Amino acid sequence: MEPARPIVVRPDEGASPPGPPTPGMDRRQLFDHEDRWVGWVQTDAGLAGGWHHHGARDSYIYVLRGKVTIEYGPTGREQVTAVAGDFIFNPAGMVHREITAPGEPAEFFVVRVGTGPQNVNVDGPGADSDGR
């Protein structure tokens, strides 16, 4: 049996994750193993990303740079705002979109735990009847 060893992933080794991309977001998969996914996300300044959810995967997000507003809820009118250094938890199946502040791109480190699709694009809140 081979002994355990660390794994290093260089920035240029991050690939686009499986599944459809969300408009306006550059996602890079750094690690994917069983029920854990780790990645990096960048959005342009002043960008409203598309409505989506991450199936049965909880998302743990650390804001590295910029300011982001997460819109969510049954009508998409609820929101929270986070800035560099803040931590966000998005529960599995939550339909949402990210909006970045004008004049400054945003960058995030993301860990997802759970199974199923990485990303499911939807038309908006309530557009996906089963919430997953």
* In a domain? residue 127: no
Provide the number of structural domains found in the chain. 1
> Tell me, what's the pLDDT at 131?
40
- What radius of gyration, in Å, describes the C-alpha atoms of the chain? 15
Residue 30 lies in a domain: yes
6 part of a folded domain: no
Provide the residue range defining the domain that includes 31: 13-121
Confidence (pTM): 0.84
12: pLDDT confidence band, cut at 50, 70 and 90? confident
| Domain-located, residue 130 | no
Give pLDDT tens digits for 13-62: 888 877 777 777 788 889 888 899 999 999 889 989 889 999 999 999 99
Is 7 domain-assigned?
no
Element (H, E) at 67: strand 67-72
What's the rounded Cα separation, in Å, for the pair 116 and 96? 17
pLDDT digits (tens, 9 = 90+) for 115-131: 988 888 899 887 654 44
Distance CA 84, CA 53 (A): 22
Whether 50 is covered by a domain: the verdict is yes
Q: What is the 3-state secondary structure (H, E, C) of 117-131?
A: CCCEECCCCCCCCCC
At 108, which CATH number? 2.60.120.10
